[in-house]
Every structure is written in C-alpha cells, then in structure tokens.
Structure 1
Amino acid sequence: MSTNQTPARRQSPQVYRRRRLVVMLGLVAVIVAVVLIIVRPGGAQGDSDTKSPASTAPASPPTTTIPTEAVAADGDPCSPEQITVEPVTDKSVYEAGEQPQLTVTITNTGRNVCVLNAGTAAQVFTIKSGDEQYWTSTDCQTEQVDAEVSLTPGTPVSSAAPLVWDRTRSAPDTCDGAREAVPAGGASYHLSVSVDGFSNEDLTKQFQLY
C-alpha cells in the first residue's frame, strides 16, 4: 500500500481574491463598529455642541444686615461731638484800670436741634497764665441760674450779658475780703470756658493786661 498522499489541488486566483475581499470587509465592519461606539452620533458629542455650558458665575453672597446707629432727633440732649464752645473777650489788650468782659459762644455743628443747659449755673470761666490758674468764675459765684436752650444747627448762641473780671486772683476762701490783684504790665492770659460740661481745650482766648 502506498504511503504517498496526493498533493492538494491549488486553488484558482479568483478564490483567493474572494477570500481577501471577505477579510477586508470584515476588518472594515469592525472599524466602523468601533468608531460608532466611540463617537456615538447624536449622543454626547452632539449634546456638547448644542447645549449651553453650565454657568460659572459665582453665587451671590448672602445679604448681611448691618446695624445702623441711632439717628439723633430734634430735641435730644446735645452730644460732645456736635458742640463747639468758644470763649470771647471784648478786647485783646486791656490798659490799666480796664476790666475784661467775658462771654461765651456756643455753636451746634450737628444736624439736629439739641438741648443743653446754658445758664450761669452750668457755665465755668477759667483764666490762666502759663500753667498757673488765677481765676475761676465759680469760686465766688452768687447768682446761679439754669437755662435750657435749644440749639439750632449752625446758629451760634452767645451770652446775654458779659461776666466782668476784676483782675484779681480768686479762691473759694477769699470771697468776703480783699483779693490780690493779678500781674499786669503786659502779662498774657488765656480764657477757657465750659458749658454744661462741654468744652474745647484747643479753643482759648488770649489777652493782655497792662
């Protein structure tokens, strides 16, 4: 018995071409399927082209209520920041024998009408030379009157009558006797005033005695 096998018959070129075409068509089908899976026509890619982008504007911060300060009303007591107290003398230089006449001007620099006691009971006139205090109106004051005054903004109010200084040194224990005359001959003095507890340290009136 012969062991030689009959060699297979060689296929025709047409068969090989058909096989290659089938393989190529299969590869194309696989590629198309992969592309469709990734691109998904009408899906996410299309959505990203047609949908408006999400707003990136920051959210408005929560509204915070800020407490407002109480607004002063007409007729309220005056406050220090709205009152200017200015001492006034009738002259800047006094010759021998002339006695200074002292007054005060009060101005409301605020926005509302305010009330304070501007009577003589609430007024304190002080005269100093350098660091030494020579005279204070309350040392020997005999007539004290309270007078509540309504101050209109921007309208200065002045003393109705001047307080006359006799050019002597005052002290509570010298009210019933003779008092010492203060230095003159061109000596310089400063007048300051407080009214109802209000005063302005930077507002003093300078004058000279001869």
Structure 2
Amino acid sequence: MPSNGSRRGPDAATFRRRRLAAALIVLVLVVALLGGIIAVVTAVSGSQAPGSAAEESPGGTGAASAPPEATATTGQPSSSSPTASPSASPSASPSATPTCDPSRVTVEAATDKAVYAPGEKPLLTLRVINGNPVPCEVNVGTSQMEFIITSGQDRVFSSKDCQVNPSDNKKRLVAGATDSANFPWNRNRSTPGCATVKTPPRPGYYRLETKLGDRTSGQTLFQLQ
C-alpha cells in the first residue's frame, strides 16, 4: 500500500543523526559557557592577586618597606641628640652664672635726726647696699669714705680734711645686704689740710652727702638750731 508507506515518520538512522547533531550543539554550547566562566574567574583572580599577596604575606614586599623607613626615622633624633647637647651646654654656661655688677652697689646718706637742738651733735651715717643677686666684695674702709656737709654754695665740712691713718676694709656683702658706717660731727667747720677754723656753723639748714670710692649718695637735708 503505497499511500501508507509515504506517511511513515523518519527512520531510525535519521533519528539518530538528529539526536547526535543536537547533542553536538549542546556540547558546543556547554564548552563555550564553561570557557566564558573560566575566563571571568581568571580575570577576577588576576586582579585580586596583588592585594591578596600583600594581605596574606606580612613579610612581603609591601610590608617589608615599612620597617626600614621607621628605623631610619627613629635613628635620626637619637644620633642628633648627643650632638646638640654638648653644643648647647657651653653657650648656656656663661649666661647662667651671674656676676657682681659694681654699678649695682650703691651708697646712701642719713642722719639720726632731722632737727638738732643747740649744741646737739649730729650722727652722720653712710650706707652701702649690694643690689646684686650675688655676693660682692666691697672696700668699706675709711680710705674710701667721705662725709661732706654743705649749706647752699658753702662747703662747711669734709671728713677727709683732718683724716688720720685711713685704712682699707674689704667686705663680702651678700645679695641685698647693707653695711653702715657712722661719723659723729662736732658741729665744726673744716678746710683741706685741716687748717683751724674758729667760726662755727650757724643755725640753719644743711645737707649731708656721702662717698665711697667713686660712688656718691644723694643729699640728705637736716637742721641745726
């Protein structure tokens, strides 16, 4: 029956060929897919490889560069520190040790009273003051002292005029110390060379000035009645 033979489906050989072709196509697709996955994984792994090596290997190249740098930085101050210390010490030593300044050793004049009754003898005082923060050696002997009394332009008296056997007396005055010397005045006049002056000072106002070497005090006012 020819009509029935024309309607039969593909034979077994054709069916096997079709299945083989389909399997090949699937195999090609699977291979291509696997190749793409492998390529992506390889690319991702390659990009992470340097970072992973640095993180997983503390002794690697990235971590090993830090210790030498830190060692060099630490070594610089320690090597420069001994050099700076000796150079600073000599320059600071002279200024750190104060010395006695002669200009800060001053002299003052004083009297024991402001007003003296008739016949009363004034007591004159010379004070030397060490205004330094350190001790000073000062000659406070009679060879350096002078008590001078004036009235206006009149030179009335000087302890140097009739001085006998002047002497030196060097003293070490501590910081801020004061040393005093007193001279009782007989209410008499004097002249250089200790010539006799019979006329006594008259009642009135007088000024006392004291000297110690090249140091001169201010003037102190007092009154004779």
Q: By percentage of residues, which structure has more helix?
A: 2
Question: 1:151-170 maps to which residues of 2 (within 5 A)?
Answer: 151-159=173-181, 162-170=182-190
Deviation at 1:112, TM superposition (A): 1.7
Contact kept? 2:189, 2:197, Cα under 8 Å: no
The aligned residue for residue 143 of structure 1 is 165
The aligned residue for residue 6 of structure 1 is none
State yes or no: 1:188 paired with 2:210.
no
The aligned residue for residue 199 of structure 1 is 216
Structure of greater Rg: 2
- Structure 2: how far apart are the matches of 1:70 and 1:199? 31
Residue-by-residue CA offset, 1:3-56 (whole Å, 9 max, x unaligned): xxxxxxxxxxxxxxxxxxxxxxxxxxxxxxxxxxxxxxxxxxxxxxxxxxxxxx
The aligned residue for residue 135 of structure 2 is 113
State yes or no: 1:79 paired with 2:102.
yes
Amino acid at match of 1:196: G
Contact kept? 2:190, 2:197, Cα under 8 Å: no
SS of 2:143's partner is helix
Q: Which has the higher contact order (CA 8 A, sep 6+)?
A: 1
SS of 2:167's partner is coil
C-alpha RMSD of matched pairs (Å): 2.2
Contact kept? 1:116, 1:196, Cα under 8 Å: no
Residue-by-residue CA offset, 1:59-93 (whole Å, 9 max, x unaligned): xxxxxx9xx879653xx5x512x022111211111
- Structure 2: how far apart are the matches of 1:143 and 1:87? 23
Pick closer, same or farther for the CA change 1:94–1:173 going to 2, 3 Å. Answer: same
State yes or no: 1:102 paired with 2:121.
no
Tell me the percent identity: 31
Contact kept? 2:148, 2:157, Cα under 8 Å: yes
- Structure 2: how far apart are the matches of 1:173 and 1:126? 15
Structure 2 gap segments, 5+ residues each: 1-90
Amino acid at match of 2:102: S
Deviation at 1:206, TM superposition (A): 0.9
State yes or no: 1:90 paired with 2:90.
no
* Aligned with residue 179 of structure 1, among 198, 220, 224: 198
Amino acid at match of 1:136: S
The aligned residue for residue 10 of structure 2 is none
- Structure 2: how far apart are the matches of 1:205 and 1:70? 39
Contact kept? 1:170, 1:179, Cα under 8 Å: no
